[in-house]
């Protein structure tokens, strides 16, 4: 009986391990404060498993010409809250290429081109987030 219970619970356990991108319409931190964007360390070819690893929260007006320690060239997926935009740069001090992401889920930054041959995976080095 115990084994049967364990087998029945197994799928739920694995489901809990899967990351899931938060909704742009309800993007809050643990303290319940409204966020401008949440940026994630990992992405996944299976979109329902994207938005994994550590995350970096941006609030309305957050302006980071230099990434917080340990976050340079690390972001692989992100969510921008409704009525907000996230502008990113490929070099620190808002240098290199830039791109603006509107409200929505970016499951894989790899799918967004950066310059002629590159993409935005692990390529964000500055950001600015604003909401209306
Ligand atoms: Ca990454």
pLDDT value of position 16 = 46
- CA–centroid distance, 110 to ligand 1, in Å, is 10
**Mean pLDDT value across residues 109-114:** 97
Q: How confident is the model at residue 10 (pLDDT cuts 50, 70, 90)?
A: low
Q: How confident is the model at residue 15 (pLDDT cuts 50, 70, 90)?
A: very low
**Mean pLDDT value across residues 113-131:** 97
- CA–centroid distance, 84 to ligand 1, in Å, is 23
- CA–centroid distance, 93 to ligand 1, in Å, is 20
Distance separating alpha carbons of residues 71 and 53, to the nearest angstrom:
12
- CA–centroid distance, 108 to ligand 1, in Å, is 10
- CA–centroid distance, 4 to ligand 1, in Å, is 38
- CA–centroid distance, 56 to ligand 1, in Å, is 12
**Mean pLDDT value across residues 73-94:** 98
Q: Are 112 and 119 in contact (CB under 8 A)?
A: yes
**Mean pLDDT value across residues 66-78:** 98
Would you say residue 30 has pLDDT above 70?
yes
SS3 47: helix
- CA–centroid distance, 91 to ligand 1, in Å, is 16
At the top level of CATH, the class of 2-131 is mainly beta
- CA–centroid distance, 88 to ligand 1, in Å, is 15
pLDDT value of position 4 = 59
What are the domain boundaries of the chain? Answer: 2-131
Say what the pTM is.
0.86
What stretch of H or E contains 106? strand 95-106
Would you say residue 2 has pLDDT above 90?
no
Distance separating alpha carbons of residues 85 and 100, to the nearest angstrom:
7
- CA–centroid distance, 30 to ligand 1, in Å, is 22
């Amino acid at each position: 009986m115990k084994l049967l219970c364990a087998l029945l619970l197994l799928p739920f356990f694995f489901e809990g391990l899967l990351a899931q991108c938060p909704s742009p319409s309800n993007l809050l931190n643990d303290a319940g404060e409204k966020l401008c964007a949440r940026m994630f360390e990992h992405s996944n070819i299976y979109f329902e498993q994207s938005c994994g690893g550590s995350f970096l929260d941006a609030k309305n007006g957050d302006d980071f010409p230099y990434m917080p320690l340990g976050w340079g060239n690390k972001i692989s997926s992100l969510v921008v809250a409704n009525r907000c935009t996230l502008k990113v740069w490929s070099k620190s001090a808002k240098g290199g290429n830039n791109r603006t992401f509107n409200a929505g889920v970016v499951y894989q930054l790899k799918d967004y081109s950066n310059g002629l041959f590159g993409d935005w995976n692990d390529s964000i080095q500055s950001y600015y987030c604003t909401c209306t």
